[in-house]
Structure 1
Amino acid sequence: MSDRPLPAARRAARADDAHGSQFRLLRERRFAPFFWTQFLGAMNDNVFKIGFTSLVTYQAARFSGVNAETAAFLISAIFILPFVLFSATSGQIADKYDKAMLTRFVKTFEIGVMVVGGAGFWLHSAPLLYLCTFMMGVHSTLFGPVKYAYLPQHLEKQELVGGNGLVEMGTFVAILLGTIVGGAAAGLASHGEAILAGGCIAIAVIGRVVSGFVPASRPAQPCLQINWNPVSETWRNLKLAREQRTVFLSLLGISWLWFVGATFLSSFFRFAKEVLSANPDVVTVLLATFSIGIGIGSLMCERLSKRRIEVGLVPLGSIGISVFAIDLFFASHALPSAPHLLSVAEFVAVPAHWRVLADLFLLAMFGGFYSVPLYALIQSRSVPSHRARIIAANNILNSLFMIVSALMAVALTSAGVGIPGLFLVTALLNVVVAIYIYSLVPEFLLRFIAWLLVHTFYRIRLVHAERIPEAGAAVLVCNHVSYVDAIVIMAESPRPIRFVMDHRIFRTPIVGWLFRDAKAIPIAHAHEDAALLGRAYDACAQALANGELVCIFPEGKLTRTGDINPFRHGVTEILRRAQAPVVPMALCGLWGSVFSRDDGAHWPRPVHKGVMSRLTLAVGEPLDPAQVTLEGLQQIVTELRGARK
Structure 2
Amino acid sequence: MPGHNQFSLLRERRFLPFFVTQSLGAFNDNVYRNAMLMLIVYQLGLSTEQGALYANLAPALFILPYFLFSATAGQIAEKYEKAALIRVTTTMEIVIMSIAAIGFVTKTPAILLGALFLTGLQSTLFGPVKYSILPQALKPEELTGGNGLVEMGTSISILLGMIVGTSLMRVGTIGPVVAAVAVVALAISGYLVSRAIPRAPAAAPDLKISWIPVAESLSVMRLVRKQRAVRNAVLGISWFWFMGTALTAQLPNYAQIHLGGAENLYLLALALFSVGTGLGSLLCEKLSARTVEIGLVPLGALGMTVFCIDLYFARPGEAAAAGLSVAEFVAQPGSWRIMVDLALVGVFAGFYVVPLFALIQSRTPKDELSRVIAGLNIQNAVFIVAAAVLGIVAQQVLGLSIPQVFLAVGVLTAIVTAVIFSIVPEFFMRFLSWVLTRLLYRVEVHGVEAHVPDEGPALLVCNHVSYMDALLIAGQVPRPVRFVMYHRIFAIPVLSWIFRTAKAIPIAGAREDPVLMQRAFDAIDQALADGEIVAIFPEGALTKDGAIGPFKSGVEKILARRPVPVVPMALRGMWASMWSKRDSRLGRLRVPRRFRARVELVAAPPLAAADATAETLETQVRALRGDAA
The alignment's TM-score, normalised by the length of structure 1, stands at 0.88
1:329-387 Cα offsets, whole Å, 9 max, x none, are 2223277511x322233223335222222112111122222222222222233322332
| Larger deviation, residues 349-358 vs 172-181 | 349-358
Which one of the candidate residues 149, 166, 175 is aligned to 1:183? 166
Which one of the candidate residues 336, 339, 346 is aligned to 1:364? 346
Alignment-mate amino acid for residue 501 of structure 2: D
Distance 1:333 1:187 in 2: 34
Distance 1:116 1:477, change over 3 A: same
Distance 2:246 2:14 in 1: 35
Residue number in structure 1 paired with 2:600? 616
**Structure 2 alignment gaps of length 5 or more:** none
Alignment-mate amino acid for residue 45 of structure 1: D
Distance 1:491 1:360, change over 3 A: same
Residue number in structure 2 paired with 1:10? none
1:601-642 Cα offsets, whole Å, 9 max, x none, are 332512132211112223345445445554554454344334
Distance 1:612 1:107, change over 3 A: same
Distance 1:337 1:235 in 2: 51
- Asked if 2 retains the 8 angstrom alpha-carbon contact of 1:282 and 1:343, the reply is yes
Matched residue SS, 2:513: helix
Distance 1:589 1:52 in 2: 62
Alignment-mate amino acid for residue 343 of structure 1: S
Distance 1:478 1:152, change over 3 A: closer
Alignment-mate amino acid for residue 520 of structure 1: A
Which one of the candidate residues 518, 528, 533 is aligned to 1:549? 533
Distance 1:562 1:171, change over 3 A: same
Distance 2:296 2:181 in 1: 42
Alignment-mate amino acid for residue 168 of structure 1: E
Following superposition of structure 1 onto structure 2, how do residues 177-256 of structure 1 map, counting pairs within 5 Å?
177-186=160-169, 192-256=175-239
Distance 1:225 1:454 in 2: 47
Alignment-mate amino acid for residue 109 of structure 1: M
Distance 1:534 1:506 in 2: 17
Residue number in structure 2 paired with 1:401? 383
1:164 is the counterpart of 2:176: no
- Asked if 1 retains the 8 angstrom alpha-carbon contact of 2:39 and 2:176, the reply is no
- CA apart distance, 1:575: 3.1
- CA apart distance, 1:189: 7.1
Distance 1:579 1:311 in 2: 30
Distance 2:476 2:523 in 1: 24
Residue number in structure 1 paired with 2:461? 477
Alignment-mate amino acid for residue 469 of structure 1: P
RMSD across aligned C-alpha pairs, in angstroms? 3.0
Which one of the candidate residues 114, 117, 122 is aligned to 1:134? 117
1:417-444 Cα offsets, whole Å, 9 max, x none, are 1221111111111111212222222332
- Asked if 2 retains the 8 angstrom alpha-carbon contact of 1:44 and 1:200, the reply is yes
**Structure 1 alignment gaps of length 5 or more:** 1-15
Alignment-mate amino acid for residue 75 of structure 2: Q
Matched residue SS, 2:475: helix
Matched residue SS, 1:385: coil
- Asked if 2 retains the 8 angstrom alpha-carbon contact of 1:254 and 1:371, the reply is yes
- CA apart distance, 1:52: 4.8
Alignment-mate amino acid for residue 618 of structure 1: V
Distance 1:105 1:469 in 2: 34
Distance 1:644 1:161, change over 3 A: closer
1:153-194 Cα offsets, whole Å, 9 max, x none, are 333333333322222111112112112112334566765555
- CA apart distance, 1:581: 3.5
- CA apart distance, 1:272: 1.3
Distance 1:73 1:592 in 2: 64
- Asked if 2 retains the 8 angstrom alpha-carbon contact of 1:82 and 1:141, the reply is yes
Following superposition of structure 1 onto structure 2, how do residues 70-81 of structure 1 map, counting pairs within 5 Å?
75-81=58-64
Which one of the candidate residues 356, 360, 385 is aligned to 1:378? 360
- Asked if 2 retains the 8 angstrom alpha-carbon contact of 1:54 and 1:269, the reply is no
1:263 is the counterpart of 2:246: yes
Residue number in structure 2 paired with 1:38? 22
Distance 2:453 2:73 in 1: 35
Alignment length (residue pairs): 627
1:68-90 Cα offsets, whole Å, 9 max, x none, are 5x987764444222211110011
- CA apart distance, 1:486: 0.4
- Asked if 2 retains the 8 angstrom alpha-carbon contact of 1:269 and 1:283, the reply is yes
| Larger deviation, residues 544-553 vs 486-495 | 544-553
Which one of the candidate residues 558, 561, 583 is aligned to 2:542? 558
Residue number in structure 2 paired with 1:431? 414
Matched residue SS, 1:500: strand
Distance 1:557 1:175 in 2: 55
Distance 1:462 1:155, change over 3 A: closer
Residue number in structure 2 paired with 1:3? none
1:155 is the counterpart of 2:138: yes
Matched residue SS, 2:534: strand
Distance 2:283 2:142 in 1: 14
Distance 2:272 2:468 in 1: 39
Distance 1:186 1:61 in 2: 14
Matched residue SS, 1:163: helix
- CA apart distance, 1:143: 1.0
1:451 is the counterpart of 2:430: no
Distance 1:54 1:286, change over 3 A: farther
1:234-278 Cα offsets, whole Å, 9 max, x none, are 011111222233222222221111111121222221221222121
1:106 is the counterpart of 2:100: no
Distance 1:436 1:300 in 2: 26
Distance 1:550 1:221, change over 3 A: closer
1:327 is the counterpart of 2:306: no
Which one of the candidate residues 350, 355, 362 is aligned to 2:332? 350
Distance 1:317 1:24 in 2: 25
Matched residue SS, 2:599: strand
Distance 1:472 1:425, change over 3 A: same
Distance 1:124 1:636 in 2: 74
Matched residue SS, 1:605: coil
Alignment-mate amino acid for residue 585 of structure 2: A
Which one of the candidate residues 509, 525, 537 is aligned to 2:521? 537
Distance 2:153 2:268 in 1: 18
1:146 is the counterpart of 2:142: no
- Asked if 2 retains the 8 angstrom alpha-carbon contact of 1:560 and 1:599, the reply is no
The alignment's TM-score, normalised by the length of structure 2, stands at 0.90
Distance 1:66 1:344, change over 3 A: farther
Distance 1:58 1:351 in 2: 34
Distance 1:335 1:614, change over 3 A: farther
Distance 1:621 1:39, change over 3 A: closer
Distance 2:621 2:16 in 1: 45
- Asked if 2 retains the 8 angstrom alpha-carbon contact of 1:263 and 1:406, the reply is yes
Task: State the identity as a percent.
Answer: 47
Matched residue SS, 1:308: coil
